[in-house]
Amino acid sequence: GQNIDQPTEMTATEGAIVQINCTYQTSGFNGLFWYQQHAGEAPTFLSYNVLDGLEEKGRFSSFLSRSKGYSYLLLKELQMKDSASYLCAVRDGDYKLSFGAGTTVTVRA
């Protein structure tokens, strides 16, 4: 099985940077995903890491260290629309995803 931990809540100011950490313990690893979920909506894909290192996509970056079972999602130049829940998910060897409980990010003006 998978054990995935991420903080429950984070608050930041508009224009700032926020880093959401995710640690995991897995039986098999086949990639780590980050999803964004606005309240009352479906999750949407943000990023995918399968090799160690940093993947950058505009204002969002995701980092992975497989040896440490650690990932983070970095949100830069925060905007009010970034207020959402961010879900860390690990894919196992059978291509099934296990999700963390999610981190609710609140962006304040």
Partner 1 sequence: IAGITQAPTSQILAAGRRMTLRCTQDMRHNAMYWYRQDLGLGLRLIHYSNTAGTTGKGEVPDGYSVSRANTDDFPLTLASAVPSQTSVYFCASSDSRDGSGEQFFGPGTRLTVL
> Which has the closest alpha carbon to 43: 86, 94, 100, 90?
86
Closer residue to partner 1 in complex, CB, 45/108:
45
- Specify the pairing of strand 84-91 against strand 9-13: unpaired
Stretch in the footprint of partner 1 (CB under 8 A) among 11-19, 21-29, 67-75, 85-93? 85-93
Stretch in the footprint of partner 1 (CB under 8 A) among 16-24, 56-64, 66-74, 93-101? 93-101
The minimum distance between CB 76 and partner 1, in angstroms, equals 22
Among 26, 72, 102, 107, binds partner 1 (CB under 8 A): 102
Asked if 58 interacts with partner 1 (CB under 8 A), we say no
Distance CA 11, CA 13 (A): 7
List, in sequence order, every beta strand (DSSP E) within the chain: 3-5, 9-13, 18-25, 32-37, 44-49, 53-57, 60-65, 70-75, 84-91, 97-99, 103-108
Site string for partner 1, 5-24 (x = CB under 8 A): --------------------
Among 48, 74, 76, 83, binds partner 1 (CB under 8 A): 48
Among 10, 21, 31, 83, binds partner 1 (CB under 8 A): 31
Distance CA 78, CA 28 (A): 34
